[in-house]
Structure 1
């Protein structure tokens, strides 16, 4: 999916390549810097943004519905989808899907408009959960996308970028994320963690995962070059994935834990211990 400026409205930029710091057991991924001010409600730029995100989210969902796998001999997984959307090419790998998700996530974040960011990010995160459960996994790309979603959710819940501490646009006079949105995010976190664990446990890897070369690692991972033909072998691979699973939405969980505490309604309970 190519992200390019729209002919009208002038809002949607081409996201710059993500600044990514990666180690063998970490995939911290930076989000692009958002607009300084939220989009004006009802304005032409907001309308252009909504059309763009709706169109690309639908395209991602359709490509997923028409996905193929080697086990299916190149046939569409969801046969009903093969008879419609003739102009849509299904995903052949999780790597392809993650690339589209990453680009759309960047556009949503750049909008700097919490009232649009949170619902769209929830929809995108729900798709990622389905993607993890429905495709052979590419751990490197999967964890990178999940880290960016974690960064985005945790920052919106706090009203500040959790990495830089910078206040986010749109939170100056806003009450913040709604209780309903917080409950939906918590449910997504739980579902995604289960899906990631089951996906890695199945051992079914994306064909585009193993052939990655050191040059590709250097380009994609901010200069990381790993020694050896297979640095994630045996027990080391298992331990690395266990640590990654533990970090899925970890910062979001911290923010939810603080924001979903029960309000004081005058009931006094005895402390334990």
Structure 2
């Protein structure tokens, strides 16, 4: 097929003489492809091929293998439901029922709690320093220096940190098991309930902030990939419960819902706000690196009460 020569166009300000138009000769007509049947055939063929591709695409999308690939990497509805039972004890050796019953009623909180003497405060500080130093030493040993003397996993470290946390809270409110804090609704507490109580504060907040900060540094150094799903769930349950207990303690301290209505100082508020924000960023990233799915509900609750009161 060849293209006939284009006739000359009229120039500017010239009139077209329709009587002087060259007609196509037989050679030009034979060179034109005027077969409409072949064009329609090619169009119908293209449509058929397009429908076949579309059908194959629909068949692939309905296949279970493709759905599995498409669903991989996407969160399921169950991932956003609570997975940690906050009413269960932190460790098997704790009687949660007894711990709750030992908590004073809201109408007469910590009526017999008093501030420690100077000598008791000195022993208290020495104990906390030694305990936190031992935890740090065992953690460093577990990194390869002396693994037989270090922590075998995250769970034993959380148990030791929880012991320090219980000791600190007992010096503030006289309640040994901090698990009982998880059952207390902060909105049900009022400042009047603590107005007639004596302040028990002598700097425990320094150690509470240190425990919260150290926990985050320790958490990201452990590997959960080698654990089974059941073991992972047990360890993560301890971790989220520990964070929830800290959240309750800091939220009450921000509101002054502790003996003597003692509130955090401005410096302490800035410190806990930074720790809380960093924890909310680090924990989800840690779970993603460990390929742990779910726990979205628990992640959303990290320091929720604390940050609401820091704003």
Match in the other structure for 1:211 = none
Deviation at 1:169, TM superposition (A): 1.8
Change over 3 Å in CA distance of 1:87–1:110 after alignment to 2: farther
For the pair 1:39 / 2:116, whether they are aligned, the reply is yes
Q: Measured at CA, do residues 59 and 87 of structure 1 come closer, stay the same or move farther in structure 2, by a change above 3 Å?
A: farther
Match for 2:243 among 122, 126, 146? 146
Q: Cα offset for 1:170? A: 3.7
CA contact (8 A) 2:84 2:237 kept: no
TM-score by structure 2 length?
Answer: 0.51
Q: Is the counterpart of residue 51 in structure 1 residue 51 in structure 2? A: no
1:108-123 to 2 correspondence within 5 Å? 108-112=168-172, 113-123=200-210
Q: SS of the counterpart of 2:86?
A: strand
Tell me which protein shows more helix as a share of its residues.
2
1:65 aligns with 2:155: no
Which residue of 1 is the match for residue 255 of structure 2? 158
Distance in 1 (CA, whole Å) between partners of 2:154 and 2:217 is 11
Match of 1:183 in 2: 270
TM-score by length of 1: 0.58
Contact 1:67 1:92 in 2 (8 A): yes
Instruction: Report deviation, 1:108.
Output: 0.6
Alignment correspondent of 1:79: none
Instruction: State the distance in 2 between where 1:253 and 1:193 align.
Output: 10
Consecutive unaligned residues in structure 1, runs of 5 or more: 1-22, 69-75, 77-81, 161-167, 206-236, 258-273
SS of residue in 2 equivalent to 1:102: helix
Matched residue pairs, number? 175
Match of 1:134 among 200, 210, 221: 221
Q: In the alignment, is residue 99 of structure 1 matched against residue 159 of structure 2?
A: yes
Q: Contact conserved, 1:150 with 1:252, CA < 8 A, in 2?
A: yes
Deviations 1:172-194 (A, max 9, x none): xx5x2111110000110111112
Q: SS of 2:151's equivalent?
A: coil
In structure 2, C-alpha distance between the alignment counterparts of 1:154 and 1:88, rounded to whole Å = 38
Residues 26-83 of structure 1: per-residue CA shift (max 9 Å, x gap) = 536789857712223xx11111111111100111111122224xxxxxxx1xxxxx2x
Partner of 1:247: 301
> 2:123, 2:250 → 1: CA distance?
23
- The 2-side partners of 1:37 and 1:117 are apart by 14
Unaligned runs of 5+ in 2: 1-81, 91-98, 104-109, 173-199, 225-234
Displacement after TM superposition at 1:204 (Å): 5.8
Larger-gyration structure (1/2) = 2
RMSD of aligned residue pairs (Cα, Å): 2.6
- 1:71-128, CA deviations, whole angstroms, 9 ceiling, x for partnerless residues? xxxxx1xxxxx2xxx7992111010111011111000111113342211000000111
**Contact 2:247/2:305 (8 A) holds in 1:** yes
Does the Cα contact within 8 Å between 2:142 and 2:148 map onto a contact in 1?
no
Per the TM alignment, residue 25 of structure 1 is displaced from its structure 2 partner at its CA by: 4.3
Does the Cα contact within 8 Å between 1:25 and 1:243 map onto a contact in 2? no
Quickly say closer, same or farther: Cα 1:244–1:52, change in 2 above 3 A.
same
